[in-house]
Amino acid sequence: MRALDTPEFRQLLDEARKSQSEYLKGTPERSSVAYFCAEYGIDASLPIYSGGLGVLAGDHLKASSDAGIPLVAVGLLYYGGYFRQVIDDAGWQHEEYPRLDTSMTGLQLVRGPGGDPLQVAAPLGDREVHAQIWRADVGRVRLYLLDTDIDDNHVSSDREITQRLYGGDRDMRIRQEIVLGIGGVRALRALGYNQLATYHLNEGHAAFLLLELMREARLAGFSFEDAQAEVRRHAVFTTHTPVAAGHDRFSHDLLLYYLAPWWRTAAYAEDRLIKLGGVGEFSMTELALNLTRTANAVSAKHGEVSRAMFPGRAIGSVTNGVHHPTWTGPHMAAVFDGALPCWTKDGNKLREATSIALEEVRGAHDAAKRDLIAFVNARFPEAQLDAKVFTLGFARRMTAYKRATLLFRDPGRLAAIAKRGLQVIVAGKAHPNDHEGKSLIAEVVHHMEDTPLRVVFIDDYTMRIARLLVSGVDVWLNNPHRPMEASGTSGMKALLNGVPNLSVLDGWWIEGYHGTNGWAIGEGFSGGDENSYDADSLYTLLETQVLPEYYQRPDAWVERMRRAIATGPDFTAQRMILQYAAEVYEL
């Protein structure tokens, strides 16, 4: 501690406090939008996120704070987080769940007038589960997290509801979603949020909040039909999932076991509850679509896919974006500070990146790359990656449709390409129950040991590692099966750092690619063996375009980097939140 007690450090601390104080002066007096999500990626120090959905939610909050959007957010506090990833000698993923130390997170326990922790209750069949409330300040936005691991819950399984993100079976999932949705609305009421104009469901996990709003309307004297109309007037829905299996469904028996006694308190018949979830099993997405005024997908292509999945539904699109001050690496940010004043406040300034001197862009990226390589070599001394060698990055959730092993489809051809100068960094977690995803990780690890190509798999992928990767690799690789990438956001983060994308035309890249800011894998694919077609395209692009330009035309390469950065403003969370404010929240 004494080492920090220097005049220089105290001056930096004072400047940071003054800057924060000025920033917080713009905090809205009242919130009119309540944002619900099952996970939030705010920072690696608060590991209550699994991947893209959570990080997107965190960026949504940060951009709302910057723009002064009057928003309050609700989620769950998972003491075990998603999990810590451990890879054994055979390349197999194992999960560890170290308990979160709330004293190291900046969270504040919300207390009532008497000083005791403020609590709310949510229905679980013939009993109630209690939750205390933690507050995280995300700039000007308050995020409230519900926590059931308290002594007032005498049933041990109730205390476990907020232990693990996406852990357990369908029974655990429905209990988590009841606490998030119904408990979340009750938490807002206990906190004094009684005049909210809009409830934003970010994915269907929180859709039970709509039933609680219906119950409130019923108790206020509304008929069933009028209660539906009243709830629709105040609720909006964003879907992120392009495949049917990704939409939560519950059996009617499970639904009625937990919610029928509570539903009867509003004098509604059980069959009306069941019908709100669509035909067949009770669908959280159908519930959301039935009781919201607008629904949107997260890219233009995903909008098309969603409308095909749910025929007759008016599902628009708001393409995702990323919080550009968070995801721009420090070296590139320093260049922007000098060349593009106010770029953090106005992401559109990045369109002028093509005017930044080539050497400044090159120098910033080289420094970011050295940071990344130093981190990898320190963590994996046997890797011995070289900062002068072209480095390809692939990092995302490890699941079959992402095709993490497409690059390794033809080992002989890949080895020949590697002789020109190629090394690869891979990272990502598989869901604990996704054995196919775990086998993909094992296959990547096998390639590390059984190929002349330098391949490194970084275990326990976090937001901190993500920042290093998206700013330090030379090209960002993404090759999902079409059209299964709802949006994708990691490639957007790479763009901000001048890292071109080498990607299948799916999700956001359909909107972002224009021929000079990256490359399109499998362009023109119209059917047949998708894996073979795309692998051949990937190898050909590396052989004939990517590596020759990188090694033989360095100025053309940096020009491509500048064009990548200039594409960034279309994919910032700033653009996204302003679109939500105007088109969805109607502020």
Q: Give me the CATH number covering residue 242.
A: 3.40.50.2000
Q: Is residue 550 part of a domain?
A: yes
Q: 267 pLDDT band (50/70/90 cuts)?
A: confident
3-class secondary-structure state, position 585: coil
> Residue 18's pLDDT band (boundaries 50, 70, 90)?
confident
Question: Over the stretch 120-166, which tens digit does the pLDDT of each residue have?
Answer: 999 999 999 999 999 999 999 999 999 999 999 999 999 999 999 99
Pair (535, 441) in one structural domain? yes
Phi, psi of 450 (to 5 degrees): -130, 35
Q: Count Cβ neighbours within 10 Å for each residue of 175-196 and write b for 16 or more, e otherwise.
A: bbbbbbbbbbbbbbeebebeeb
pLDDT at 246: 87
Asked whether residue 10 is domain-assigned, the answer is no
254 and 189 fall within a common domain: no
Distance CA 501, CA 514 (A): 11
Q: Are residue 191 and residue 274 in the same domain, yes or no?
A: no
Q: Smallest Cα–Cα separation from 434: which of 147, 146, 82, 157? A: 82
Which domain range does residue 85 map to?
40-53+70-196
Kindly state whether residues 523 and 393 are assigned to the same domain.
yes
Distance of alpha carbon 346 from alpha carbon 337, whole angstroms: 12
Whole-number pLDDT of residue 11: 84
Q: What is the pLDDT, as a whole number, of residue 422?
A: 97
- Tens of pLDDT, residues 441-463: 999 999 887 777 899 999 999 99
Read off the amino acid at residue 279: V
Could you report the per-residue pLDDT of 290-306, keeping only the tens digit for each? 999 999 999 999 999 99
Grade residue 31 by pLDDT with cuts at 50, 70 and 90.
confident
Q: Kindly state the average pLDDT of the residues 268-295.
A: 96
In this prediction, residue 3 carries a pLDDT of: 65
CB 537 within 8 A of CB 519: no
Same domain, 134 and 148: yes
Separation between Cα atoms, residue 587 and residue 313, nearest integer Å: 24
Say how far apart CA 539 and CA 552 lie, in whole Å: 18
Predicted confidence (pLDDT) at residue 486 exceeds the cutoff of 60: yes
| The two structure tokens encoding residue 587 | 């502020």
Average pLDDT over residues 321-341: 98
Using one digit for the tens of pLDDT, what is the confidence trace for 407-429? Answer: 999 999 999 999 999 999 999 99
- Does residue 510 sit within a domain? yes
Taking 60 as the threshold, does the pLDDT of residue 1 lie above it? no
Predicted TM-score (pTM) of this structure: 0.96
Same domain, yes or no, for 382 and 484?
A: yes
Q: Which of 196, 221, 244 is the last residue of a domain?
A: 196
Which DSSP category does 327 fall into? Answer: H
Residues 226 and 335 in one domain: no
DSSP state of 407: G
Compute how many other C-beta atoms are within 10 angstroms of the C-beta atom of residue 339. 16
Domain boundary among 196, 218, 233: 196
pLDDT classification of 74: cutoffs 50, 70, 90: very high
Same domain, 422 and 456: yes
Burial group, residue 452, by CB count within 10 angstroms (0-12, 13-18, 19+): exposed
Tell me the torsion sign for CA atoms 23, 25, 31, 32. negative
- Pairing status of strand 119-124 against strand 501-504: unpaired
* The token pair that represents 358 in the structure block: 């080539």
Q: From CA 493, how far away is CA 576, in angstroms rounded?
A: 14
- Identify whether residues 135 and 237 lie together within a single domain: no
Domain membership of residue 33 (yes or no) is: no
How far apart are alpha carbons 169 and 76 in whole angstroms? 17
* CA–CA gap between residue 486 and residue 482 (Å, rounded): 10
54-79 mean pLDDT = 97
Same domain, 245 and 218: yes
CA–CA dist 24, 29 (Å, integer): 11
pLDDT, tens only, 205-220 = 999 999 999 999 999 9
Q: Give the residue-averaged pLDDT of 471-476.
A: 98
Q: Quote the pLDDT of residue 28.
A: 85
Total domains, the chain: 3
Report yes or no on 20 lying in a domain: no
Task: Using pLDDT thresholds of 50, 70 and 90, give the confidence band for residue 2.
Answer: low
| 21 found inside a domain | no
Same domain, 453 and 496: yes
Query: What is the overall mean pLDDT for the chain?
Result: 95
pLDDT at 84 over 90: yes
Least confident of 231-240, 242-251, 525-534: 242-251
- Tell me: pLDDT of 432 over 70: yes
Phi and psi torsions of 254, nearest 5°: -65, -45
Instruction: Please tell me whether residues 375 and 404 are part of one structural domain.
Output: yes
> Does residue 220 fall inside a structural domain?
yes
For the cut 90, the answer to whether the pLDDT of residue 566 exceeds it is yes
C-beta neighbour count of 357 within 10 angstroms: 12
Q: Is the residue at 436 inside a domain?
A: yes
Question: Which of 145, 173, 196 is the endpoint of a domain?
Answer: 196
Report d(CA 31, CA 79) in Å as an integer: 28
Bridge partner list, 145? 75, 134
How far, rounded to the nearest angstrom, does the alpha carbon of residue 112 sit from its chain's CA centroid?
A: 32
pLDDT-derived band at 517 (thresholds 50, 70, 90) equals very high
Tell me the per-residue pLDDT of 376-406, one tens digit each, with 9 for 90 and over: 999 999 889 999 999 999 999 999 999 999 9
